Amino acid sequence: MNAPAKLMTAKHFLDLDALDPATLRKLIDDAKRMKVARAGRPKGAHDDALPLKGRMLALIFEKPSTRTRISFDVGMRQLGGETMFLDGRDMQFGHGETVGDTARVLSRYVDGIMLRTKRHQSLIELSEAASVPVINGLTDRTHPCQLMADIMTFEEHRGPIAGKTVVWSGAGNNVCASWIHAAVRFNFELRVACPPEVGPDQRLLAWAKQEGGRVNLVRDPFEAVSGASAVVTDTWVQMSEADQLGEGGMRSRHNSLARYRVDERLMAAAGKDAIFLHCLPAHRGEEVTDGVLDGPQSVVIDEAENRLHSQKAVLVWALS
Ligand code: CP
Ligand code: NVA
């Protein structure tokens, strides 16, 4: 018989707001330790400890990916486990089977499921019906694994993030939503500089306020970056929107976001101690100039590398 989902105790990694600050802090610290412990080794070599030996992780993608797919795959192998890549469009749930039935069946084959989905609701349904851990590999609403890498990268370059100021300049998208969760859980100030028509969800801002977080909307990006330790941006149109916006929608999105582009002038206003973060892939010349992305303040390649280390900490926490 299928046990009711509510009785299951799987440790899901769905969003940062669902986890307590102590757990998140431990994951970041574990990731930093794991990175140091295997420094200089070939990427394909195992870690010393193999906490996930014999474990199988399903990686399901309904959207393209470079970093998420490869970092989960390599990370799982370094920990002694195995992965199985699945294109969501080829699976039966892309053709009418319910997400719940998929979750119950997959739970009999694999020890964990990472999902990148177009519908946040699919992630929720999967986690409610699965008896194995479910990890959010990006939805139309959030990208928590990205934020674990971003916090780790910030701290490698600028020390503890608590009490610091980070500025998001651009569209209030899924990555921005996870930055809002992170600001509350890791206790730093987040200034979101964006036009009103593409701002973050009001419910998210209300949640941050209710939790005592310091998340502030600032219309002028130059005012926002004053005193910031990091400036962050992302593409102006996220994957799930690209098909819906149409040519006119794209044009107006670009027009309203042009003044939020992170360029050399904005980074100069932030000051030379501010780092630049971007989850990648970037649309060079749109949300960020080549000069900033490739410049001395940019830490985007460290940030991409840290997807690997921070997700390994999440995998050990969830699956071992
Ligand atoms: N940052 C990120 O999630 O990249 P991918 O889309 O390549 O996985
Ligand atoms: N905002 C981006 C993140 C990509 C990793 C998107 O969802 O398209």
Q: What is the mean pLDDT of each run of 10 residues along the chain (320 residues)?
A: 50 98 98 97 96 98 97 98 96 93 98 97 98 98 98 98 98 98 98 96 98 98 98 95 86 94 98 98 98 98 98 97
Helix axes 174-186, 21-37, angle to 10 degrees: 100
Q: Which one, of 81, 141, 80, lies nearest residue 116 by Cα?
A: 141
Q: How far apart are the first and last CA of the chain?
A: 25
**Strands across the sheet containing 275-278:** 214-218, 189-193, 165-169, 230-233, 275-278
Residue with tokens 């018989």: 1
Residue minimizing CA distance to atom 7 of ligand 1: 66
pLDDT on residue 240: 80
Pull the structure tokens for residue 64.
Answer: 């393209």
Pocket of ligand 1, beta carbon within 6 A: 65-68, 138, 146, 279-281
pLDDT on residue 1: 40
Closest ligand 1 atom, residue 304 Cα: 1
Beta pairing, strands 275-278 & 165-169: unpaired
pLDDT on residue 5: 42
Ligand of minimum distance to the alpha carbon of 65: 1
Taking CA atoms, 147 is separated from 135, 137, 150, 229, 302, in Å, by: 13, 11, 5, 16, 13
Ligand 2 proximity of 304 Cβ (cutoff 6 Å): no
pLDDT on residue 137: 98
pLDDT on residue 6: 46
pLDDT on residue 9: 67
pLDDT on residue 241: 87
Ligand 2 proximity of 173 Cβ (cutoff 6 Å): yes
Ligand 2 proximity of 297 Cβ (cutoff 6 Å): no
Taking CA atoms, 112 is separated from 3, 248, 311, in Å, by: 17, 41, 13
Residue partners of 131: CB distance under 8 A and separation at least 6? 3, 5, 8, 10, 104, 107
Pocket test of ligand 2: the residue of 173, 237, 280 to mutate, having most ligand atoms within 8 Å of its CB, is: 173
Active site residues: 116, 143, 146, 234, 279, 307
**Ligand 2 centroid vs 48 CA: distance in angstroms?**
33
Nearest-angstrom CA–CA distance, 114 and 106 = 11
Nearest-angstrom CA–CA distance, 69 and 267 = 31
pLDDT on residue 244: 87
Pull the structure tokens for residue 56.
Answer: 């199988």
